[in-house]
């Protein structure tokens, strides 16, 4: 495929935010790609080079891209900078500059394969002299490209492609291109993605062998599985009713979810809830896990929490969060904030794929697989058959430093459901016992300048939930409480990468922010109650025509959910369920903003 053909599709993608239109353009692209080209076409359209979990980054800063543009167009770098400042988009700038002096007719047109290979070379260049290698590769690409191609190349390298192509839309497109149009075929494609987290692999497999070939995609050590997620219940009686009278209750540890892959040779890779590789942040867990598992290879899941080395008590989330994302002082932090992982599931046990087994069988397999020690332990668990037993266990978990309990279904259908949220797992937390059931993970979509003591800084943030059906972000509150001075001080730096000049097309709100933000940063918000709102469009019309949902007295808990991307935030559908589970529902006569 010529790169120009891909770019022509980008122009069409750029012109719409409708999920069905995006899907149809992508389906056409997929149909006109060869099997070999498919991964490149799909990854490039998402603004990446490889599946997210591989963490492949181009490492091209703004200044480096500007240098490449200057060299490729023969315009002095300061002039490029001025033009970039005027347009606010180096992509538009390079397009304009290239329009001034057309590409010579003798230069061969770029192919998708060439562009992809060159960009991989840019990403792979490391160490001394790598900046020069990156610049030269970009210059070569830009020099050979048409103006519109150069625009998208520059946006890609700066991480500003933003065509609105999400994984779920690509799965829709694959279903249109290769499926039989049924929900069942869409589900099979998504299942294959959930166990492999690799859209390139899924696309190539289905394109080569049709839907049936997807059965060949299995769990593989080193390739993370999309995590199984839990639903909520308003009380323990409801939990037991949904689980038909009996359930395995486990302590709900308040830490970081970790998926551990232990290879046959004993090497260990750790993945976060977002499937980022985080092994380097917790180096002590690697040898501990390699020693604890009795059969290799293995894939196990657990919650990593800080533990007091003197008392063995579980420490609050704030402590382990100090180790997340850390690149320096690793050794000091290991002794200052020791961690343990509490394992709660096993997906691969030696050569047996346990993910397909019911939960009780998986737990037995986990107990046989693991020899617990100080760093690697098993999640505490108890089988319960009555609300009284469940309540007593819940109270014990809270006393032991847990956040609540996770109830797990014992039914024969309780297989591990990668990437799915369902009632096979139900979370029941302490805060459900008073006020609003659970906090909300909201996405920042805008900010308001502060007044008084906060003049010159941001005073409040406009928060949204995610609606996966519409692929849009719908606001539910403005939050200004709960920020301490240090957080307020650090906020602008955290928000800068997301700042936009105008409202993101995927945001729905009736408010006008002082500064718009691209949905990206996720914050945990707590509030007094959810009310029907004529102002906020979260879950608009789902409960009452013309009303959305708003959170009253919202407060930032102090917890940045860096382990969640914008589409992992609380969904509009979850907000509706939270509203419905409130003991006292607000009267629609008194809607609040």
Q: For residues 379 and 540, which CB has a smaller minimum distance to ligand ATP in the complex?
A: 379
252 is catalytic: yes
Q: Is the distance from CB of 505 to CB of 472 less than 8 angstroms? A: no
Residue 490 Ramachandran class (φ > 0 left, ψ -120 to 50 alpha, else beta): alpha
To ligand ATP, the closest distance from the beta carbon of 257 in angstroms equals: 3
Q: Specify which residues 262 forms β-bridges with.
A: 268, 298
Using the contact rule CB under 6 A, the part of the chain among 94-102, 132-140, 249-257, 370-378 near ligand ATP is: 249-257
Cβ distance to ligand ATP smaller for residue 150 or 390: 390
Nearest CB to ligand ATP, comparing residues 38 and 230: 230
Residue from 23, 67, 166, 252 binding ligand ATP (CB under 6 A): 252
**Helix H or strand E segment including 208:** helix 199-209
User: From the CB of 380, what's the least distance to ligand ATP, in Å?
Assistant: 8
Instruction: Convert 237-282 into a string of H (helix), E (strand) and C (coil).
Output: HHHHHHCCCCEEEEEECCCEEEEEEECCCCCEEEECCCCCECHHHC
Residues 361 to 390: which contact ligand ATP by CB under 6 A? 379
Contact pattern for ligand ATP over residues 43 through 82, marking x by CB under 6 A: ----------------------------------------
Report in angstroms how near the CB of residue 561 gets to ligand ATP at its nearest: 7
Give the Cα separation of 166 and 273 in Å (integer). Answer: 18
Closest CB 439 distance from ligand ATP, rounded Å: 8
Q: Which one of the listed residues 252, 429, 506, 564 is annotated catalytic?
A: 252
Which DSSP symbol is given to 328?
S
The CA distance from 295 to 417, in Å, is 23
Cα gap 83→154, rounded to integer Å: 14
344 belongs to the binding site for ligand ATP (CB under 6 A) = yes
Residues 176-195 that bind ligand ATP (CB under 6 A): none
| 253 vs 466 by CB, closer to ligand ATP | 253
Which residues 6+ apart lie within 8 Å of 336 measured at CB?
A: none
* Binding of ligand ATP by 257 (CB under 6 A): yes
The answer to the question of residue 315 lying near ligand ATP (CB under 6 A) is: no
Q: Are 406 and 384 in contact (CB under 8 A)?
A: no
Among 362, 427, 508, 555, binds ligand ATP (CB under 6 A): 427
Q: Note whether 440 binds ligand ATP by CB under 6 A.
A: no
DSSP-based three-state secondary structure for 544: strand
Of 8-16, 239-247, 250-258, 547-555: span binding ligand ATP (CB under 6 A): 250-258
Which parts of 361-400 are beta strand (E)? 376-378, 381-384
Site for ligand ATP contains 406 (CB under 6 A) = yes
Residues between 214 and 233 that touch ligand ATP (CB under 6 A): 229-230
Judged by CB under 6 A, the residue of 303, 349, 467, 529 near ligand ATP is 303
Q: What angle do CA 236, 242, 246 make, to 5 degrees?
A: 75
Nearer to ligand ATP, 417 or 427 (CB): 427
With CB atoms as reference, the residue minimizing the distance to ligand ATP is 257
The residue count for binding ligand ATP (CB under 6 A) is 14
Sort strands 298-306 and 268-271 into parallel, antiparallel or unpaired: unpaired
Q: Which stretch binds ligand ATP (CB under 6 A): 138-146, 209-217, 244-252, 546-554?
A: 244-252
How far from 243 is each of 253, 417, 421, CA to CA, in Å?
21, 16, 15
Distance of CA 252 to the CA centre of its chain: 21
Q: Which residues pair with 199 in a beta bridge?
A: none
User: Could you give the residue numbers annotated as active site?
Assistant: 252
Footprint of ligand ATP on this chain (CB under 6 A)? Answer: 229-230, 250-253, 257, 273, 303, 344, 379, 406, 427, 441
């Amino acid at each position: 495929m010529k790169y120009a053909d891909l770019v022509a599709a980008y122009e069409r993608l750029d012109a719409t935010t409708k999920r069905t239109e995006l899907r149809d353009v992508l389906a056409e692209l997929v149909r006109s790609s060869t099997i070999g080209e498919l991964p490149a076409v799909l990854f490039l359209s998402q603004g990446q080079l490889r599946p997210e979990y591989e963490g492949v980054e181009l490492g091209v800063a703004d200044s480096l891209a500007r240098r490449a543009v200057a060299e490729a167009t023969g315009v002095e770098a300061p002039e490029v900078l001025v033009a970039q400042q005027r347009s606010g988009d180096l992509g538009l700038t390079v397009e304009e500059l290239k329009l001034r002096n057309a590409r010579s007719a003798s230069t061969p047109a770029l192919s998708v394969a060439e562009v992809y290979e060159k960009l991989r070379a840019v990403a792979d260049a490391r160490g001394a002299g790598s900046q020069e290698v990156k610049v030269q590769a970009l210059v070569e690409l830009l020099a050979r490209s048409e103006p519109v191609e150069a625009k998208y190349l520059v946006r890609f390298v700066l991480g500003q492609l933003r065509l609105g192509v999400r994984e779920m839309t690509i799965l829709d497109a694959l279903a249109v291109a290769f499926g039989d149009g049924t929900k069942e075929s869409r589900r099979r494609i998504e299942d294959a993605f959930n166990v492999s987290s690799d859209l390139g692999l899924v696309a190539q497999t289905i394109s080569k062998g049709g839907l049936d070939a997807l059965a060949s995609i299995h769990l593989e050590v080193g390739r993370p599985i999309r995590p199984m997620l839990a639903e909520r219940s308003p009380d323990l009686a409801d939990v037991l009713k949904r689980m038909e009278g009996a359930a395995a209750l486990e302590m709900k540890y308040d830490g970081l979810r970790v998926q551990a892959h232990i290879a046959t040779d004993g090497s260990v890779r750790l993945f976060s809830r977002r499937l980022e590789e985080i092994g380097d942040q917790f180096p002590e867990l690697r040898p501990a896990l390699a020693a604890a598992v009795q059969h290799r290879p293995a894939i196990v899941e657990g919650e990593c929490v800080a533990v007091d080395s003197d008392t063995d008590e579980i420490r609050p989330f704030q402590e382990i969060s100090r180790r997340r994302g850390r690149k320096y002082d690793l050794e000091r932090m290991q002794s200052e904030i020791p961690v343990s992982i509490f394992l709660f599931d096993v997906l691969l046990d030696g050569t047996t794929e346990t993910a397909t087994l019911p939960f009780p069988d998986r737990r037995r397999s986990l107990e046989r697989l693991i020899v617990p020690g100080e760093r690697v332990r098993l999640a505490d668990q108890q089988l319960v058959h009555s609300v009284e037993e469940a309540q007593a266990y819940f109270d014990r978990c809270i006393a032991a430093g847990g956040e609540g309990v996770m109830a797990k279904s014992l039914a024969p259908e309780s297989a591990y459901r990668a990437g799915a949220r369902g009632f096979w797992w139900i979370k029941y937390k302490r805060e459900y016992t008073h006020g609003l059931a659970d906090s909300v993970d909201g996405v920042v979509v805008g900010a308001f300048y502060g007044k008084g003591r906060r003049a010159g800084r941001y005073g409040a943030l406009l928060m949204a939930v995610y609606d996966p059906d519409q692929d849009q972000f719908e606001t539910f509150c403005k939050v200004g409480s709960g920020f301490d001075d240090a957080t307020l001080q650090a906020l602008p730096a955290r928000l800068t990468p997301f700042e936009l000049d105008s409202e993101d097309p995927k945001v729905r709100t009736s408010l006008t922010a002082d500064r718009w933000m691209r949905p990206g940063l996720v914050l945990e918000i707590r509030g007094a109650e959810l009310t029907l709102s004529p102002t906020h469009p979260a879950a608009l019309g789902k409960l009452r025509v013309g009303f959305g949902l708003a959170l009253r007295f919202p407060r930032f808990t102090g917890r940045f959910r860096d382990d969640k991307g914008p589409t992992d935030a609380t969904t509009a559908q979850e907000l509706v369920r939270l509203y419905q589970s409130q003991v006292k529902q607000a009267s629609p006569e008194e809607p609040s903003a």
